[in-house]
A and B are shown apart, each in its own frame.
Chain A
């Protein structure tokens, strides 16, 4: 039996149905093994989908055999294949590396529950990515959000609780806004399938509800994606979550919301609303620029290592939105490449933080002074991923920043202002990453490490694998770039 046509459905079903099974794996370590195996399997499914899509295939899947506009459709094209790689890759990496860190932070008897919620988050994020149905996206969004609230609050840090409460409130408001938008669109068109919506919105006579829907959907998803003024939930939620959860969510959670935002806007609205392209661009461009500048500046003065990296994520989301707001081939390629590369860089950085956290309980910068002398390999991995975040040539981060600058130069107006802002924020990234590097390497130790030597081998190996991937995709970026440019062509093809 050939499973290939069923891969889009399996991609969601495998992690979702394994979650309750993992719950039953009570003996020590089994829950981890089960969850990690499932995550790796999901990654293999995503990889085979991505290779097939890169060859030019397109997957459509009618759930339950109901034909597309009536039933729920799953679809995998170049854009969703890229996203699936990021999401399942982040899931697989954080679970493979995660056992020592999770053992430290979460009691043995609660671990099966934790891993089950982790897999549900993965299933939800993957589900958002493959759905071609507006309401189905909402349902998966809530599955992933509810499960991620649980895993964020699952750690020993009590400050995670108020942080997750804030995230729950803002996340629910965002999702409800999205629901209102979908309702308005459904009211005017009578369909929920994205492709069908695209075809039918053109025939709507009264355009006002559609405009309202575009506003609600954009703001709701921007809340979920932590686009600049709506990002206040993010720093604390990421900073106080268990370290492995931060690795996973920082690498992919907000990007999935950006994915839906871009997909919905390009597929449904830009094709049909006159002048919407310009509105989209003019709305997001200033927010992206302010996010880049303000968040980078805040990160320069942040004293807690995890918060620093979390705030820097807000700036990186700004880069992605900036590329998308150009609404050009070059801009979109830069945005998608940056999604991939930022996931690699930030995932690697948070993995290095998890390594540090094995021996240093307090992750404030002044407490970490001199850590490179006890944990040289961890610190070196941090430096490599940090370079990638800054965009030093030879690392993955350089590729996407280079593309973004190229895309900015293509614009007629204000090209040099944009380039200046991108360069300035890269310098700020250099400052905040260097502050950490300086503390780790050149300051005399304040606190003794709690254990001798490096982090556990399992954690360290995966951290270095990701660090090397940062260099690898910096030198040979062909595959992610091929997917990105195919995705950009696809989206722009829909706007014409």
Chain B
């Protein structure tokens, strides 16, 4: 019973693990691009959390159709929210990569320790 309960939260376990993997990568890596990869993983974990919570058992896409009444729908709001968050994540990643390119132009390296030594 206990095990089933744990398995029932499968998606949330994955969320927690992916979140930690991302955060660890951001903190532990010195290469700036790898840091950004970690940041993206970290953000994707949150997308998973939002998508998980909107799922209603047996629910389908929330589109009202003629002839199909009494349908069970998944909650569309978290999907819309996370669509916005995905856009934010993509623009953050793009801006981060642009900054890394500029850092590479100015310093000739994208390793954090070498940049610190350069100034």
Which residues of A come within 8 Å of B, CB atoms? 135, 138-139, 142, 146, 149-150, 153, 158-159, 161-162, 164-165, 168-169, 172-173, 175-176, 179-180, 183, 186-187
Contacts and interface: CB of A to CB of B under 8 A. Distances in A.
Contacts of A175: 88
Dominant SS at the B interface? Answer: helix
Interface of B: 19, 23, 26, 32, 35, 39, 42-43, 46, 49-50, 53, 78, 81, 84-85, 88, 91-92, 95-96, 99-100, 102-103, 106-107, 112, 115-116, 119
Dominant SS at the A interface? Answer: helix
Contact of B84 (A139, A153, A180, A183): A139
Contact of B95 (A158, A168, A187): A168
A431 B107 CA distance: 36
A172 B41 CA distance: 12
A153 B81 contact: no
A202 B107 CA distance: 54
A183 B95 contact: no
B26 A149 contact: no
Given A149-B99, A173-B23, A165 B88 contact: no
A161 B103 contact: yes
Contacts of A165: 32, 96, 99-100, 103
Contacts of B84: 135, 139
Nearest to B107: A158
Nearest to A170: B26
B88 A142 contact: yes
B103 A162 contact: yes
A163 to B, nearest CB: 10
A70 to B, nearest CB: 10
A169 B50 contact: no
Contacts of A187: 53
A173 B43 CA distance: 8
Contacts of B112: 162
A173 B25 CA distance: 12
Nearest to B81: A135
A146 B95 contact: yes
13 contacts: A135-B81, A139-B84, A142-B92, A146-B91, A146-B92, A150-B95, A161-B106, A162-B112, A173-B23, A173-B42, A179-B85, A183-B53, A187-B53
Nearest to B106: A158
A345 to B, nearest CB: 29
A179 B46 contact: yes
Contact of A164 (B23, B35, B50, B99): B99
A187 B23 CA distance: 23
A135 B81 CA distance: 8
B39 A172 contact: yes
A217 to B, nearest CB: 13
A221 to B, nearest CB: 16
Contacts of A142: 88, 91-92
A146 B91 CA distance: 8
B25 to A, nearest CB: 11
A158 B49 CA distance: 38
Contact of B99 (A135, A168, A186): A168
A159 B42 contact: no
Contacts of B116: 162
A349 B95 CA distance: 30
B39 A169 contact: yes
Given A158-B107, A161-B103, A176-B42, 6 more contacts: A146-B88, A146-B92, A146-B95, A165-B99, A165-B100, A179-B85
The 10 closest A-B pairs by CB, nearest first: A158-B106, A142-B88, A187-B53, A161-B103, A162-B115, A165-B99, A172-B92, A168-B96, A161-B102, A183-B50
Given A135-B81, A169-B26, A186-B78, A153 B49 contact: no
A180 B85 CA distance: 11
Nearest to B96: A168
Given A139-B84, A142-B88, A165-B32, A183 B46 contact: yes
A150 B96 CA distance: 10
Given A135-B81, A168-B99, A172-B92, A180 B23 contact: no
Contacts of B107: 158, 161-162
